[in-house]
Amino acid sequence: MDTRPVDQHAPLVGHVLDGRYRVDALIAHGGMATVYRAVDLRLDRVVALKVMHPSLATDASFVERFIREAKAVARLDHPNVVGVFDQGAQGAYVYLAMEYVAGCTLRDVLRERGALSPRTTLDVLEPVLAALGAAHRAGLVHRDMKPENVLIGDDGRVKVADFGLVRAVGTASQTTETVLGTVSYLAPEQIDDGAVDQRADVYACGIMLFEMLTGLKPYAGDNAAQVLHQHLNRDVRPPSEEVPGLSPVLDDLVVAATARDPRLRPQDAVAMLADVRASVPGLSEAELDLVPPRARASGHDHHDNAADRTSVIPRSVSVPRAVRPPLLPPFGDDPVDAVPAAPLGDTGGVHRTSVLPSPPPPVTGRPGRGGARWRPRRGLWAALLAAVVVLCVGAGVWYVNAGQFTRVPPLLSKTRAQAERRLADEGLEVKSVEQKYSATEEPGTVIGTDPAAGERIRDHGEVTLTVSRGPRMVDVPDLRGKTLDEARAALRGAGLAPGMVTEAFSEESPKGAVTRTEPGRGERRKAGTTVALTVSKGAPVHVPDVGGKPEDEARTELEDAGLDVSVADRRVFSDVDEGSVAGQSPRPDSVRAEGDKVTLTLSKGPDLVEVPDVEGKHADEARKVLEAAGFKVKVSRFFLGDTVWDQSTEGGDEAPRGSTVTIRVR
């Protein structure tokens, strides 16, 4: 590592860490680690380098947490999770090399814009829940979900980062603040006893949902203790109390996710994602594009192209938005539908619950001739009869256009049996059942319907169910002995992804052949899993010393050792004979692989120069003259004196440049 003076907040910028990662810029500086943008010199790609503060590197628990993050995230193969490529250490620096996401964090967006529209909020929430769902189904809990850990790329991708506090479900947890996470997003059970499961992440997502919809955190205080007290003793209020006009559907999602009793929340992020997807079709376009008052107050009014500025964030799942399905509780296996109002547009303005008016009762008036009571005129009766006819016709039109229809109920995440019972209750039938692989949904659960949830369908119509087969599992093939290209092709053919390539010496395998894989051959993995390859460098060879030997002799000795030989174009002066080896690279006795190249530099022979005649000169003058000619000088004195009376090489003779000339002084 370089030892140049550096900025105390970015001590690695301009240096190369572990001989591989060139650190280019500081991204973020936190209490536990510093994140840099770096270049992987081996693979020539940009990475985010998360480096633990050296002061913490001596703490075994912190180092273990760092390594746990690398291992935990490496197990996840999901497009909405920031990937971890490598983990290592150099001296006091322990680091993770992670996927670099060019863009900003959700915190940056909230700081700039305040509250977001419901449509933009859901654009962010859905991929976050999908990422956490993958972690939850792998038995992991993030434990530190917050806007700072939601990355939004310049290309619109949303990714969850920083699994530094991740733990497997059921493992012990300490209750220190650094272990628990960030105060504003802690679930009550995290504060109580530190024993958490996936529902703690659901709670944090509910807090983030409230914050995105309102621009505010639900709990505020002068210190952390006040915020913790509110988590334990106050329910999160519906966001519509802060932003009038927000749909009750969004209120339900927030209230369910932030229930203080974890048993009342969705069981994990997969269940919450299913609730979101089932509820969204019930939002109208106006409800989805509601501009929150806080956004208007900040200059983001309805007429300033706010929607354009958020268009880089795509919806992870396309959902219909023009229809309103039956209302659905936020979780549970057997939701009870509320009866939707009939569409007014199909009735010609006559509502299905309209009540026919009764004729007015007789009114006693002044008795006329003969004492007869006043009765309604014939024209009024005709008008009433016409109204009855219009209503009857309208009801008939409604029945023809709408009365024969119902709507497909939401069935996502239900088992096939539950979905079939629900359809039967709605008077619908199952047309067919298709199966598809799913990396996030349990096998046997519904992942889609045709028609989609909320769409109109005739009574006794048929619905096609798409049921999860779970993740597609494949066996890692045996790649031993294959070339690198053959191994990569075999992995892709098996549904796996070729990963990092490492070279290692091998006595058994020829150079370039695959010797092992990680995971190993025969192990079952999800389709798309990355497989690392180790390729043979050939048998190790100790480079022989051929210095001073003639070229032919040196070449034969090296080739017999299994090495290739090349000769440098340029020769050099040296003490060895002309045409003999004056230098070799790599150096003698270094270890190389069979077939590696050794470059020889041949000698031009000694560089001969004429020796100056210095006899009779003062000793100091003689030394200067000889050194200027390229010689080393040794002085031999006889008695006391300073005059040269003899020299070892006669003046006018030639001697190799750099050789020693002895002068005798008396």
Residues 6+ away with beta carbon under 8 Å from 118: 213, 246, 247, 250, 283, 287, 288, 289, 290
3-state secondary structure of 288: helix
Contact partners, residue 515, CB within 8 Å, separation at least 6: 480, 504, 506, 508, 509, 534, 535, 536
Q: How many helices (H) and strands (E) does the chain have?
A: 17, 31
Q: 175-184 b/e with 16+ CB inside 10 Å = b?
A: eeeebbbbbb
SS3 625: helix
Closest listed residue to residue 180, CA positions, set 218, 222, 150, 224: 224
* In 280-377, alpha helices (H): 285-288, 293-297, 306-309
Q: Which residue has the tokens 């997003």?
A: 185
User: In terms of C-beta density within 10 A (0-12 exposed, 13-18 middle, 19 or more buried), how is residue 487 classed?
Assistant: buried
Instruction: Write the single-letter amino acid at 628.
Output: A
Q: Which helix (H) or strand (E) covers residue 204, if one does? A: helix 198-214
CA distance 529 to 542: 38
List the one residue out of 365, 383, 382 whose CA is nearest residue 374. 365
The Cα–Cα gap between 65 and 60 comes to 9
- 640 vs 651: CA distance, rounded Å: 24
Instruction: Note if 144 is an active site residue.
Output: yes
Q: Judge whether 482 and 533 are in contact, CB under 8 Å.
A: no
Q: Alpha carbon of 571 to those of 548, 580, 598, 601, 657: distances in Å?
A: 13, 10, 16, 6, 16
β-sheet with 45-52: strand ranges across: 16-17, 21-29, 33-40, 45-52, 93-99, 84-90
> Omega into 586 within 30° of 0, i.e. cis?
yes
**Nearest 5°: phi and psi at 449?**
-135, 155
Catalytic residue selected from 77, 86, 123, 144: 144
Taking a C-beta distance cutoff of 8 angstroms, is the pair 591, 615 a contact? no
Cis peptide upstream of residue 326 (ω within 30 degrees of 0): no
Q: Are 288 and 321 in contact (CB under 8 A)?
A: yes
**Closest by Cα among 94, 12, 14, 7 to 51:** 94
Name the token pair of 250: 């969004």
Give per-residue burial for 529-550: e unless 16+ CB within 10 Å, then b. Answer: bbbebbbbbbbebebbebbebe
Q: What span, in angstroms and rounded, lies between the C-alpha atoms of 567 and 555? A: 9
Provide the annotated active-site residues: 144
